[in-house]
Amino acid sequence: MKVLILSPLPEGVIRSLFAANLTKYKIEAHFVTINEYNLDALKRELADADIVVGDYTFRIPITAEMCDAMNKVKLIQQPSTGYDHIDIRACAKKGIPVANIGGANAISVAEHTLTLALVLLKHITYAHQKLLEGIWTQAELLNVATELSGKTWGLVGLGRIGREVAERAKSLGAEVIYFDVKRLPEDEENKLSYSFRQLQRLLSEADVVSIHVPLTLETEHMIGEKELRMMRSTSIFINPSRGELTDEAAVAKALREGWIGGAGVDVFSKEPPDETNPLMSAAQEGLNIVLTPHLAGATSDARMRIIQVTVENVLRVMLGQKPQNVVNL
């Protein structure tokens, strides 16, 4: 079987990851790697590929045109949670399953989400910077910094990551409310102590709002000026999912005009962001915003789980079994 690898990994590393299992199951396979977006070269390699492992850096998209070149592909395995650089509709039309890594990085993203919220609630970045400038802000922040305990955490999206965030927020004493297109059964809500809210009501009630949904045509810019104006002036907004889920200019405006109390952002519409990104300007103005370089799920622990899930799913298909974590069929 031919496995085409689009992620920037050395071929020796790739072979070593599969070697033991290929020997164990007596599978004959060879691996081809392409690390640059060259459409003609990609189409040639895709023509006889059996399995495609996508690019975790998102530099190489899988388009409908590339999908048309796939004559034998039985699986596109994306080694990340996000898959918005893959035309999953075109793949589905051709009967090609696209799989992600499920919840392999859910713990890392959840911890990062909680960290951003706590840093913002307690104004840690501001206090740190002022202390380096020789300014003691204890009295200034005494009545400004707040606890998470007793607050309401609103989750937009209750998938694997959303649930990990919910459990951690609960453990710190927060009440959890959520919005999802698929509401939980009432008995499960009662068991978990989560309360369902429509999106508008959630935004108006929550002290912290975090968004955990995939980027699709339906979710692009789902949080814009209208939604941000529904939030409280003291509320915190966290986006560890995809930059395009929000109107970045509206988030910056919300901070400047005091519609919200703070924002934590790990993802951007263009990565890395440049100086024209309105969130970068907001941070440089000293507003209560914390920016991180798309590293919520990028821990060494998560990376090992991602590799494991990727290898196991590819092997399942090599053995004639159905892949797991399919997102398009």
Phi first, then psi: give them for residue 316, nearest 5 degrees: -55, -45
- How far apart CA 98 and CA 88 sit, in angstroms, is 7
CATH class of segment(s) 2-104+300-318: alpha beta
pLDDT value of position 288: 96
> pLDDT digits over 65-113, tens only?
999 999 999 999 999 999 999 999 999 999 999 999 999 999 999 999 9
- Catalytic residue IDs: 242, 271, 294
Tell how far CA 157 is from the center of its chain.
11
Q: Write the DSSP string, 229-282.
A: TTS-TT-EEEE-S-GGGB-HHHHHHHHHTTSSSEEEE---SSSS--TT-HHHHH
For β-strands 194-196 and 98-99, DSSP reports them as unpaired
Superfamily the domain 106-291 falls into: NAD(P)-binding Rossmann-like Domain (3.40.50.720)
- How far apart CA 315 and CA 308 sit, in angstroms, is 11
- Whole-model pTM: value is 0.92
pLDDT value of position 20: 86
Phi first, then psi: give them for residue 153, nearest 5 degrees: -100, 125
Residues of the chain with pLDDT under 70: 11
CATH 3.40.50.720 residue spans of the chain: 2-104+300-318, 106-291
pLDDT value of position 329: 80
Q: Do 63 and 87 contact (CB within 8 A), yes or no? A: yes
For β-strands 208-211 and 236-239, DSSP reports them as parallel
For β-strands 152-156 and 175-179, DSSP reports them as parallel
- How far apart CA 280 and CA 276 sit, in angstroms, is 7
- How far apart CA 183 and CA 157 sit, in angstroms, is 10
